[in-house]
Structure 1
Amino acid sequence: MPNKLEVRRSALRKIREKFLESFSAVMPIGLIVLLLHFTIAPMPGGMFGSFLVGLLLLIVGMCLFSLGADLSMMPMGERIGAQLTRSKNLKFLIVTALVMGVLITVAEPDLQVLARQVPAVPDKPLIFLVAAGVGLFLVAALLRIIFQKSLRLILMVCYGLVFFLAIWVQPGFLPVAFDAGGVTTGPITVPFILALGIGVAAVRGGRSAHDDSFGLVALCSIGPILAVLLLSQFYDAAGGAYGATVPETPQSLGEIVSQYIQAFPHYAKEVLIALLPILGAFALFQVLFLHLPRRQMIRVGVGAAYTYVGLVLFLTGANIGFLSAGNFLGGAIAALSYRWVLVPIGMVMGFFVVAAEPAVHVLNKQVEEISGGTISRSAMLISLMCGVAVSLGLAMARVIWGVSIWYFLLPGYLVALMLTLFVPKIFTAVAFDSGGVASGPMTATFLLPFAMGACQAMGGNVLSDAFGIVAMVAMTPLLAIQILGLWSVYRQKKQPREKFALDETELIEMEG
């Protein structure tokens, strides 16, 4: 048994590693904003100060969240998933998954933000129908693992239905529907849902268990899209004007501090409400089935506290410091005579901002562990960064020239679905999971306001031109990760030929 000193040193080493990871993930986007501020788009002093405070909160918050996900969110999800499978009670699994999916989604902070930004639909119908969509598709995702059904086939059928319904939808609702699929898979739900699938697949076993460990986030992203498409049949997209709430620009250091102090209770309440369904479900399973020892429960409790504090800090920093900065920078750059520069700037932002999404690192770590290192964290991250860079470039092109999102989503998803026929199953599952994971709080609080600010400065239609950026960010990882899968297949086929050529050369040398 390690003594207390060794345990303390190990904990400090882990915190230091997580802090360095968070710092290296968040600072690049911070440096880009600093470069823009000191060159072509200087921000007001108070806004710049607020951004710097937000940057610090993001780094610390992401560090604590990452620690908490390792200690509590992942273990809770895996144990609940494993117990649901061991019970061999299909009704119990269906009811539990449905209730948890609905409750977790209703409490998702990003969904609350989305609902407030869609004036054509009342908040409550949108939130509860989207939550029902997530709950139903979470049930479907777990049943798929248990009965070993093809994820590729399910994705093709579901997205076929999505695009069939999209034909009859008013143009203003299409970006909203695909955005809903992205915002419901936030930093709170992703670690838990990922772990739930891993737990179910591990207990079910079989040769395809590691492939089936992923795909839950992918299917849970489809439910909200279908829900909004169905809801659009009962509301008029022109029923209101789109508007987002941007925090007021502080004028002094005192106002900056006051702004953050006033915001903390709001986000503390939001995160608590979002975490309660997961913690409550785990507590119930602990009492009825798990009976984990006190030491493990303390570990889970400490991890939950890290997760809670980390997310409060992260969301406060993102919503107060980054939202205003993003909106201002987008408007300032769009007002330049050379507004085309939005496209390359957007691509650079997209490349780095995905690394600051907390759930991305959780997914990448799980993929590396489950695949036994076949799919490395670095390869995953670089692929996602390249994919999101492309999506932001295209999104900025939409803002400048008012191109319909149809021309991007339809061919993008068709190519992504076609690629599923040629790549290993695990790459398909991971790719479609990545789409939901990449479009997290940084997209909602920085990239979307950036696009909105640019669109408003050019007098465009925010609802149809700027909205949909979450959808674009969610689409390109589907292509990027599956292209990585094609490259992996190519390398595996090439290696035996290279080895044979090498052996032949060595034989000739020996004979010589």
Structure 2
Amino acid sequence: MISLANTIDVFASTVTDVFPIAVILLAFQTAVLRRPIRNLWSVILGFVLVIIGLALFLVGLEAALFPLGETMAMQLTTPQFLQQMRLSEIGVLQWFDYYWVYLFAFCIGFSTTIAEPSLIAVAIKANQVSGGSIQVNGLRLAVALGVAIGITLGCYRIVAGDPIHYYIIAGYVVVIIQTYFSPAMIIPLAYDSGGVTTSTVTVPLVTALGLGLASTVPDRSPLIDGFGLIAFASLFPIISVMAYAQITRWLNQRRPIKQEDSNEV
């Protein structure tokens, strides 16, 4: 249970994190640009609401989402649960016996990414800048699907014990090839989409899943094998966003549509 003292600590930590940002913005506005701040009281109110909202968001995550996610990750990866659900004929757990772990990884990757505030902000700005050509929900779904696939593949890598660099190198080869064929307007956004997934909601749950899985799979080291899922969560959204744009463009080319809608992704 979250105590009052812990809640106050979270608020104090949030103020400490936001205060340098406010100081830098104020310093540049007054010392460099030398212009007054328009709607000063609205700006101050906005900063206060940001601090309150972010603090309450973090308190809620710590009280409910993080413990639940960590508990489920540990329970799903215990040998007792896996042996109860399915045991291979030779008496040793194989990679396909972890299907519940893969399903949980896919679902948690998709749901946490959809809920990422940073992704929502980027999707809204991309929609505004593109004049509506880039759909908010379309971008969010593409990124979430990429994260879900990436984390699922990362969990398989932990179970199989394969070196992580093979997957990362192969993934970036695909990214390079896609970059050549993707619409120019989506490429920078796709690369940024990989970064917005490593934020407040996704990282703690995905890290807990990787460490829990590496701790329970025989002959796996939590230090060597437990980390790396965040790399998959950053790489595969780049692939999925560019694939989304390529598929959309291909579908638009195959059907007669209005000229003003031909670039919509």
TM-score range, shorter chain: 0.7 to 0.9
Residue 64 of structure 2 aligns with an amino acid whose one-letter code is G
* In structure 2, distance between residues paired with 1:398 and 1:321: 29
- Cα distance in 2 for residues equivalent to 1:382 and 1:401: 28
Secondary structure of 2:140 counterpart: helix
SS of 1:421's equivalent in the other structure is helix
Q: Does the alignment pair 1:278 with 2:21?
A: yes
Corresponding residue for residue 358 of structure 1: 117
Q: Distance in 2 between matches of 1:443 and 1:463?
A: 19
Q: Which residue of 2 aligns with 1:51?
A: none
The residue that corresponds to 1:308 in the other structure is 51
1:385 aligns with 2:149: no
Partner of 1:325: 68
> 2:156 aligns to what?
397
Q: Which one has a larger percent helix, Structure 1 or Structure 2? A: 1
Q: What CA distance in whole angstroms lies between the structure 2 residues aligned with 1:281 and 1:401?
A: 47
Secondary structure at the counterpart of residue 441 of structure 1: coil
Amino acid at match of 2:233: V
- Partner letter of residue 156 of structure 2? A
Partner of residue 493 from structure 1, selected from 253, 257, 261: 253
Whole-angstrom distance in 2 between the partners of 1:357 and 1:260: 25
Deviations 1:455-482 (A, max 9, x none): 2233521122221111111111100111
CA contact (8 A) 1:329 1:453 kept: no
5+ long unaligned stretches in structure 1: 1-255, 500-512
Q: Partner of 2:211 in structure 1?
A: 452
Aligned to 1:482: 242
Cα deviation for residue 360 of structure 1 reads 0.8
Offset from partner CA, 1:319-345 (integer Å, 9 cap, x none): 343333222211211121243310112
C-alpha change, 1:260 and 1:427, in structure 2 (3 Å) is farther
Once the two structures are superposed, residues 335-374 of structure 1 have per-residue CA deviations (whole angstroms, 9 ceiling, x without a partner) of: 2124331011211221211111111100010011111111
C-alpha separation in 1, matches of 2:176 and 2:118: 24
Equivalents in 2 of 1:292, 1:334: separation in Å? 54
TM (normalized to structure 2)? 0.83
The residue identity in structure 2 corresponding to 1:302 is L
Structure 2 Cα separation of the partners of residues 369 and 444 of structure 1: 28
Aligned to 2:195: 436
CA distance in structure 2 between the aligned counterparts of 1:402 and 1:267, rounded to whole angstroms: 38
Q: Distance in 2 between matches of 1:334 and 1:467?
A: 15
What displacement does 1:485 show?
1.8
- Match in the other structure for 1:77: none
In 1, Cα distance between equivalents of 2:3 and 2:247: 46
Question: Cα deviation per residue 1:376-421 (whole Å; 9 max; x = unaligned)?
Answer: 0011011112111101211221232222211221111121122111
Task: Tell me which residue corresponds to 2:10.
Answer: 267
Structure 2 residue matching 1:345: 3-state secondary structure: helix
Q: Does 1:464 align with 2:207?
A: no
Separation in structure 1 between the aligned mates of residue 145 and residue 4 of structure 2, nearest angstrom? 37
Q: Give CA-to-partner distance per residue, 1:427-466, whole Å, 9 cap, x none.
A: 1111111101012121222221122223223352112222
How many residues are treated as equivalent by the alignment?
Answer: 239
Aligned runs of 1:17-416 on 2, under 5 Å?
Answer: 256=1, 259-288=2-31, 289=33, 290-293=35-38, 296-335=39-78, 336=81, 337=83, 338=86, 339-416=98-175
Q: Distance in 2 between matches of 1:270 and 1:417?
A: 40
SS of structure 2 residue aligned to 1:374: coil
2:137 & 2:238 partners in 1: Cα distance?
A: 17
Displacement after TM superposition at 1:265 (Å): 3.1
CA distance in 2, matches of 1:402, 1:317: 35
| Correspondence for 2:180 | 421
C-alpha separation between the residues in 2 aligned to 1:425 and 1:463? 39
* Aligned-CA RMSD value: 1.9
How far, CA to CA, are the matches of 1:473 and 1:356 in structure 2?
Answer: 14
Report if the CA contact (8 A) 2:111-2:144 is conserved. Answer: yes
After TM superposition, give the deviation of residue 268 of structure 1 in Å: 2.2
User: Quick check: 2:114–2:141 contact (8 Å CA) kept in 1?
Assistant: no
Are 1:473 and 2:250 counterparts? no
| Cα distance in 2 between the residues matched to 1:357 and 1:316 | 16
Q: Which amino acid aligns with 1:319?
A: E
Q: Taking every aligned residue pair, what percent have the same amino acid on both sides?
A: 22
1:495: Cα distance to partner?
Answer: 4.4
2:139 aligned partner, one-letter code: M
Question: CA contact under 8 A between 1:327 and 1:454: conserved in structure 2?
Answer: no
CA distance in 1, matches of 2:207, 2:3: 21
Structure 2 CA distance for aligned equivalents of residues 285 and 402 of structure 1:
50
Please say which structure displays the higher CA radius of gyration. Answer: 1
Structure 1 position 262, deviation (Å): 3.2
Q: Which amino acid aligns with 2:106?
A: M
Aligned 8 A contact 2:119 2:197 in 1: yes
Runs of at least 4 residues off by over 6 Å: none
Residues 391, 476 of structure 1: 8 Å contact kept: yes
Amino acid at match of 2:7: F
> Match of 1:23?
none
| Contact 1:395 1:466 (C-alpha < 8 Å) held by counterparts | no
CA 418–368 in structure 1, closer or farther in 2 if over 3 Å, else same:
same
Partners of 1:316 and 1:408 lie apart in 2 by 36
In 1, Cα distance between equivalents of 2:134 and 2:161: 38
* Offset at residue 270 of structure 1 (A): 2.8
Aligned-partner residue type, residue 28 of structure 2:
F
